[in-house]
Each structure stands twice: as structure tokens, then as C-alpha cells.
Amino acid sequence: MSEYVTQETFNKMRDELQRMKGIDRPAASKAIAEAREKGDLKENAEYDAAKEAQGILEAKIKQLEGVIANAKIVDPSTIDTSKVAILTKVTITNVATKKTVTYQIVGEKEADLKAGKISASSPIGKGLLGKAKGEVAEVQAPNGVLKFKVDAISI
């Protein structure tokens, strides 16, 4: 599945991958070599821990390579604000509680509820995508259907 990200997030992911390959991977190999020198591998907990850490690192590298390979970089200057889309900020009002909040719709990698960024694949994100100002989005939640009126859409 494609992950929508900003250029900034894409660059951070690429930098993290380079660090993992260029610094963390050689360090893991060195830890294994040092543990191997300490004797019998059958009873060497340090060796087992180093091998396990290397396996976890390799899994993270593979996962991040997959995310980067499938990433779609979204340019904020090309976003149409007539409808809710990735990277738009949307101000919504809960129809039942009259509470108003503003969220930015982002890809999963950038989601941070405390910063007001929700994933496009979250229930609210999915419900809001494609809605225009004035429309009501119905979102299926564990406690029933929530209705949100779209008040404003911006960058």
C-alpha cells in the first residue's frame, strides 16, 4: 500500500535508513564478532542477544525500505482545498456535541494526534476524505456512528 508523505518526512525516513545501514548494521556485526570471540556459542548469551538485535535491525531496515519504495510524495502547492485530501487541514464540528476541532490529514508515518495530525487511514480520516465544506461525514466508531460537519478546509 502506498504511504502519502511530505518531502520532509521522506527525507527523514531516507536519513534514518542510511543511519541504520551505515552505522547500526556495522555496529551489530561488530557486537556479534566480539561475542563470538568469547568462546562456546552454545552457552553464550551475549552472542544470542547480539544475533537477535541484528535480526530486529534487519527487519526494521527491510520494513523501512518497503515504505520508502512505496512512498508517494505529496506537494502542498498542488492540493485542491475544495475537498478534504491528504495534507489539508480540516476544521470539523461534532454534530452531537457541537465540539469543533481542526486536524491535518496525513499519511500513517506522520500521524500524531497531539499535534493535530490524523492518518488518512484512521476511521475519522477515511470518513472525511473527499468531503467538501458544509458536508457531513459519518464515521463508524466503536460506540456508534459519529457525525462531523466540515466547517473549513485549508493547507
Q: What is the pLDDT of residue 26?
A: 94
Distance CA 111, CA 42 (A): 44
Angle between helices 45-70 and 7-19 (to 10 degrees): 150
Choose between 50 and 20: higher pLDDT.
20
Range of the domain at 20: 3-73
Q: Is the domain of 87 the same as that of 68?
A: no
How many domains, the chain? Answer: 2
State the residue for C-alpha cell 460506540.
Answer: 143
Q: Which amino acid is at 77?
A: S
Q: Is the domain of 36 the same as that of 85?
A: no
Q: Which region holds residue 25: left if phi is over 0, alpha if psi is between -120 and 50, else beta? A: alpha
Q: Is the domain of 30 the same as that of 58?
A: yes
Q: What number is the average pLDDT over the span 47-62?
A: 92
Cell readout for 120 is 488518512
What residues does 132 pair with on adjacent strands? 83
Q: Is the domain of 68 the same as that of 87?
A: no
Q: What is the pLDDT of residue 147?
A: 93
Q: Is the domain of 47 the same as that of 104?
A: no
Q: What is the pLDDT of residue 2?
A: 67
DSSP state of 37: T
Does the pTM surpass 0.85? The reply is no
pLDDT 10s digits, 110-138: 888 999 999 988 899 999 999 999 999 99
